[in-house]
Amino acid sequence: MTVPRIVIAEPSGPAGAPLLVLGSSLGTSSILWESTAAILRSAFRISTFDLPGHGATPTATARFTIAELALGVLDAIDALGEDTFHYAGVSLGGAIGLQLALTAPGRVLSAAIICSGARIGTAEGWLERSAVVRAQGTASLVVSAASRWFAPGSLERIPVDGGRLLHSLRDADDVGYALCAEALANYDLRPELGSIAPPVLAIWGEHDLVTPRADADRISAGVQRGRVERVDDAAHLVPVEQPEVTAALISRFITRITEGAA
Ordered by start, the domain boundaries in the chain are 19-258
Tell me the sheet residues that pair with 46.
Answer: 12, 20
Listed in order, strand segments (DSSP E) in the chain are 19-23, 45-49, 85-90, 108-114, 200-205, 226-231
Residue 1's pLDDT is what?
76
Residue 186, by phi and psi: left (phi above 0), alpha (psi -120 to 50) or beta?
alpha
Label residue 230 left, alpha or beta by phi (over 0 means left) and psi (-120 to 50 means alpha): beta
CATH architecture assigned to 19-258: 3-Layer(aba) Sandwich (3.40)
If phi > 0 it is left, if psi is from -120 to 50 it is alpha, else beta; for residue 260 that is left
- The pLDDT, as a whole number, for residue 68 is 98
What is the model's pTM? 0.96
Beta bridge partners of 23: 49, 89
Return the closest-CA partner of residue 46 out of 64, 62, 70, 24. Answer: 24
How many whole angstroms separate alpha carbon 201 and alpha carbon 226?
A: 6
- Phi and psi at residue 119, in whole multiples of 5°? -145, 130
pLDDT at 2: 86
Average model confidence (pLDDT) across the chain: 96
**Tens digits of residue pLDDT in 89-136:** 999 999 999 999 999 999 999 999 999 999 999 999 999 999 999 999
Determine the residue type at 162: G
Task: Report pLDDT digits (tens) over 37-90.
Answer: 999 999 999 999 999 999 999 999 999 999 999 999 999 999 999 999 999 999
